[in-house]
Amino acid sequence: MQLAHQHHSFRLLLPLMTLCLALIGTGVKAENLVTIETSLGDMTFEFFPNEAPRTVANFQRLAQSGWYEGKSFYRVVKGHVIQAGSLDENTEPRVEAEFNQHPHIKGTLGLARDEDPNSGSTEFYICHEARPHLDGRYTVFGQLVEGEAVLDAIANQEVIEKYYDEDKKIAFHEPKTPVLIKAIRLH
C-alpha cells in the first residue's frame, strides 16, 4: 500500500519536476511561476514582476485567496484571446496600468480593462495568437511557458457568438461548454 501511494505521489510530481528541469537553464525563478489549472488541463506562466509589480502582486493576492476558483473563461475568441475573471466592475480595487516592452504574442498573460487604462482589476486574458495592436496599451504581466495545447483547446471551444458593440468589432464569444478554473497555484 505504501509503495502504491509513493508511486502515485511521484506520478503527480513528475510534470512539475519536468517543468523545473526545463527551466533551470532559462534563469526563471520558481517564485515567478504560476500554474492555472483548468477543466481542460494546466497552463504554466512566468510572471514579469520587474515590469508589472502591482499587477503581479494583485494577481498573486487573488490567486492565494482562491478568488479565481470556479470562475470560467467567459470570453473565448479563437485567434485573439481567452479571458477570465469577473465581469462585475465593483469587485476589487483597480490596478494602475504598467505598460511595458513585452509584446502580445501567443501565450501572453495580460490584465484586461475597459476604456480607462487604470481600470484593470480581476480580469485577465491570454493571447491565442500575436496581437501587436495591443502592445503598449494593456499591461502584460506574464508569458506561457508550458501548456500551449491547453490554450489551443480552450480557444478552439465551440462558442455562442456575442458582440460588445453593434458594429460587431468587439467579439465577446462565450463557450457553449464552460471552461472552469479549478485552481491557480503559485510556485
- 103-120 pLDDT, tens digit per residue, is 999 999 999 998 999 999
* Position 87 confidence tier, pLDDT thresholds 50, 70, 90: low
Spatial distance between the Cα atoms of 125 and 108, rounded to a whole number of angstroms? 8
Dihedral, CA atoms, 127, 132, 138, 140, nearest 10 degrees?
60
- Check whether 128 has a pLDDT greater than 60: yes
Homologous superfamily of the 27-186 domain (CATH): Cyclophilin-like (2.40.100.10)
Q: Give the residue-averaged pLDDT of 170-181.
A: 90
This prediction's pTM: 0.83
Task: Output the pLDDT for position 171.
Answer: 76
What tens digit of pLDDT does each residue of 16-43 get? 544 454 444 456 677 899 999 999 999 9
Strand ranges inside 87-123, DSSP E: 108-111
Query: Domains of the chain: which residue ranges?
Result: 27-186
Which helix (H) or strand (E) segment holds residue 99: the answer is none
- Check whether 3 has a pLDDT greater than 60: no
Cα→Cα distances 23→49, 132, 151, Å: 17, 26, 20
* Position 140 confidence tier, pLDDT thresholds 50, 70, 90: very high
What tens digit of pLDDT does each residue of 48-76 get? 999 999 999 999 999 999 999 999 999 99
* Position 160 confidence tier, pLDDT thresholds 50, 70, 90: confident
Task: Output the pLDDT for position 96.
Answer: 96
* Position 161 confidence tier, pLDDT thresholds 50, 70, 90: confident
- Check whether 144 has a pLDDT greater than 60: yes
* Position 132 confidence tier, pLDDT thresholds 50, 70, 90: very high
Query: What SS3 state is found at 74?
Result: strand
